[in-house]
Each structure stands twice: as structure tokens, then as C-alpha cells.
Amino acid sequence: MKKIVLLICILLGSSPFLFSQEVNKHISYVSIYDFLDELANIQVIELNSAIKPYSRHLIYEKLHEAETQQEKLTKRQQKDLTFFLKDYNKEVIPNKKFKRRYDLFYYRDSLFQFTLNPILGFTYAKNKNGYSTQRWNGLEMNGAIGKNFGFYFSLRDNGFYNILSTPNYLTQLPGGNYKPYQGTKNARTDFDEVRAGISYGWKWGSISLLKDNFSWGNNYNGANIFSGRQPSFAYLNFKLNPTKWFDFNYIHGWLVSQVLDSSKTYGVGSSLRKSFFPKFMAANMFTFKPLKRLHISIGNSIVYSDKYVQPIYLIPFMFFKSSDRTMNGAGSNALGENSQMFLDVSCRMIPKTHLYGSIFVDEVNVGKMFDKKNQTNLMSFKAGVRLTNLIKNTAFTFEYTRTNPWVYAHPISTTTFASNNYNMGHYLGQNAQEIYMSVRVKPIRGLSVDLSYTQAIKGPVRDFQQINGVNNVAGTPFMENILWMKNTTALKVYYEIVNDVFVFGEGSYSDVSGIMTSEYTPDFYTGKTKTVSLGVNIGF
């Protein structure tokens, strides 16, 4: 393995095409992601929005592309563009002599670039059930050495009163590894979150080792391939962009199973040294661009455990399901690993219109696909449309998601599609559907006003332990009864004062009902609630 790594380094170091480093911008920085999406929808830039996060260099390239077409932008969009270039121009301008953003510390010379900024934030929410708070503080930094080596680091301490996100709660709030707390589940607790990465990039690709969140699949209200909601984990990331009509992305991740390995768990005094079974995941996505502004992405993934990292899953272009059969013995009755396939389509060929859809496939039973008694397969579907600037500085969105029974589930606890017990797919999980509609208005630079309606419904959760065998699950009725429903109307407002500094507020009316309410919903949102929340955020 050491010789292989050394050979890769020698090949990269001797390449005449070395070009740029990769430093990712976290997926929670919604303003830049939304602005790039807006530019793509009005056909100013072309963007592969199925794979996130974007690197700072990619963001700069797209902003620069828009800068050459300012006549196509509204006055507000032009001001947004100037605002974001204050930050991302740092990727190419080799000195400090330009109008740039405020940083706690910024240094650049001909070889080395370094930025350091604080992370601070606080939110307060209140309704008839009580109140909830979250505060966070820390530091983030990013930098580069030369044109090829990039790095970044982010550490934040989070404190909560009234936890609103756990593996069971059906919410899009990011998950956390909370420290033990006493008393009710509304007690105060906290957790630390670190994200970091090192990368080496060249003209047509990059390779990175990261601990971060990522999202796969076009969406405006939660992806159904990889949502990025789970706590960040370490993964190897390999990207190729050899031509304008093709992109390739590959990851190999070290997941957290949280399944106790009793043979390696032991006591130390009055404490217990826990050891979990190892758990890994490999995934790839091939994105083809047969026509301008039409992107078709296909890929597959596998979650495996009970063994060390397998070299076969380190081959980026692998079809993992077939290799699984080889690894676990052809013709045997033994359970294999947990494999998936997916398809994502994004079309921006109609001006001001983004049509998109994605399919996540756990298993397809072709023989029973058209049998009226067995009409469901193990799939999750998402389809939507966003109309941008039909009315000046306004976007309309409609999105529908349906996830059939058994999707994201698996009979082996160590190979579930989850990390730290958080499902990596759609936040509603299996046997669920969602309707999402929104109107977003951006009247001035940095200000976004979003009015939305969401209906989320969930039926019975299927458990492999409740059936005899695992091969006859296709055809299970979709949502034959409703166990949980949530209707939410929300008005969100946020304003980016200066780069990475936000003030925000939200007013929402929510109606949660069903016999699984206590399981899927925090007490804070139980029943019919009118909630008001306010907050401030510095850094990501």
C-alpha cells in the first residue's frame, strides 16, 4: 500500500497539468449555493448541481463566468456577484490589492495562502410547548500551498437546550453526537464537531482526504441519495473532469456503525471501553452531458462491514453489487453487503426553468414490476421544478418525494445505510412521501424571503426481523395507513450582512398528528404550534 501511495504521488508530482487545489465550501452555506443555482437556471453558467459540496475554486470559476455576462443579470444579481467575488477572488488574485471581504486573519504570498475566521452563532425558538436554544463557537481556517495543495479545518462547540435532531426525529436539522445528559430529553447538552480536509488537485481532477458532509442528488428540500444530514465522517474523495461532457466522483467512507463488538469491549475501572464493528461505504457517480444544460448522472454504492478495507472497493469505477457476489461466494445463501444504485437527471434547457429528478434503488424486482399485486419496488423517487426570474428576483419551486417500504433498511445491523444511526438517505426514511412548495424572493443584495408549505407523511416502518426471510419484500403496500403526518407553513427571512455573517428569523405554523408523533417529533413541535425563531450566524 505504501508503494502504491508513493507511485501516485510521483505521478501527480511529475504531471505537466497540475492546476488547482480543492478546498470545499460547506453545504450549509446556502447563500452561495442558491446564487449559483440561480445563475444556472437563467442559463448564465452551466452547473453540475447533483454533487455537493463545491470547491472554492469551482465557485470562483462560475462567478468569473457570470462576471463576463453581467448584461444578463438583474441589478440585484450584479450586486450579489460583486459581493461574493470579495471572497472568492482570493483564489486567483496573488496579493491583497483588491476589494476583498473582512477576515480575522488573511495572508498570501507567491507560495502560501491562509485564512482564519471565527465561528459564532445563536438561535432562539419559542412556541406554546416551551423554548429551544442552540449556541455554537469555534474557529475555521483554509489555505493553499502552491497551485495544487489545499487544506481546511473547522472546529465548533455546540450547546443545546431542547434537542430537536436525533436519529429518530423526522427533521432536516443536522445530526450530532450528543454527550450524555441527565433528566428529561429537554435537558442541556452539547457536542463538538470537527470538519477538515487535505487535497491535491490538477487540471482535470483531484484527490482528497476529508472529514465532512456531502450531498448527492438534485433537490431543494432534502436529497434522497445522500442527504448529508448525518454527522460528518472521514472519506477519500476522487474527482475527474477530463472533458466538458463528463464528470466523475468517487468516495470511500469510514462510517460509524455504533454496533457494539462485545469481544473487543472491556471495562477500565468503573468505565467501559466500547468498541464498534467497523463499517465502510464506497460510492461513485458518472455524470454525462449529452446536450448543453442536460446532465444525466448514474452511480452505485455499497455499505460493507465485518472486515478490513477491501481493495476491490477502492477501485473507483467499480459496479459494487457484482463485486459483492464475488466477495461473499457465488451461489451461497449467505447474506452479502448492502448495495444501492441511483440515477439523477437535471435539465436547464428551457430558459429560467430547472427540471430535475432522482431515483434511489435498493432493489428492483423486474419479474414483479408490472404485477398489480406487487407494484412497489425498493426505490425512492424525487421530481421537481424550479422557475427562476419569471417574476424579477423570484423563484417558484414544487418538489415531490416518495420512498417505498424497505428502502434504506437492511437485515444486517452493521451494514445499514446509516452512520451514527442517522440515515444517509432522505430524512423521512422508508414508506413516506413529501410535497414541498415555496416562493423565494430576493428584493435586495443579501436578503432572501422564503414562504413555503411542506406536507410530510409516513406509514408503517418495515423491519426485517418481523418477516420470515429477506427475499420477498417487493410488493409490500405503500403507506396502507398513516402513522405520522406533519403540515408546515413557514416564512423564513435571512440577510447576509457581510460575507459569512447572517441574521435570520422564521415564523411557522405546524400541525403534527399520528400515533408515532412522540417517536418521530420532539416535544417542542408536538401538536399544533406557532413557532417564532431568531438567530445570528458568523462562519460555517
| 111-163 pLDDT tens trace | 999 999 999 999 999 999 999 999 999 999 999 999 899 999 999 999 999 88
Residue 367 confidence class, pLDDT cut points 50, 70, 90: low
Q: Does the structure show a pLDDT above 60 at 469?
A: no
Here the cell at position 508 is 411557522
For residue 122, what pLDDT is reported? 96
Count of Cβ atoms closer than 10 Å to residue 408 Cβ: 22
Query: What average pLDDT score do residues 55-75 get?
Result: 95
More confident position, 204 or 327: 204
In the prediction, which pLDDT does 372 show? 57
Instruction: Decide: pTM greater than 0.85.
Output: yes
Closest CA to 526 of 63, 10, 170, 208: 170
How far apart CA 425 and CA 294 sit, in angstroms, is 24
Least confident of 3-7, 293-297, 425-429: 3-7
Kindly tell me if the per-residue pLDDT of 468 is higher than 90. Answer: no
Q: 60 pLDDT band (50/70/90 cuts)?
A: very high
What percent of the chain shows pLDDT beyond 90? 73
Cα gap 146→452, rounded to integer Å: 45
Average pLDDT, the chain: 89
Q: Residue 453 and residue 20: Cα distance in Å, rounded?
A: 42
The three-state secondary structure class of 404 is coil
Q: Quote the domain boundaries for residue 79.
A: 2-328+335-538
Count of domains observed in the chain: 1
Which pLDDT does position 267 carry in this prediction?
A: 83
Q: Is 20's pLDDT higher than 70?
A: no
Residue 519: CATH number of its domain: 2.40.160.130
Does residue 404 contact residue 377 with C-beta atoms inside 8 Å?
A: yes
**C-alpha closest to that of 383 among 407, 347, 356:** 356
Which helix (H) or strand (E) segment holds residue 5: the answer is helix 2-13
- Does residue 462 register a pLDDT over 60? yes
Query: Does residue 99 sit in helix, strand or coil?
Result: coil
Q: What is the pLDDT of residue 521?
A: 95
| Assigned C-alpha cell, 489 | 407553513
d(CA 464, CA 338): 14
pLDDT at 15 over 50: no
The DSSP secondary-structure symbol of 176 reads -
Between helix 30-41 and helix 56-67 the angle, nearest 10°, is: 40
Residues 6+ positions from 442 with CB-CB distance below 8 Å:
76, 80, 393, 394, 448, 449
Q: Which range, 88-102, 181-195, 196-210, has the best average confidence (pLDDT)?
A: 196-210
pLDDT at 392 over 60: yes
In this structure, are residues 427 and 401 in contact, taking their beta carbons and an 8 Å threshold?
A: no
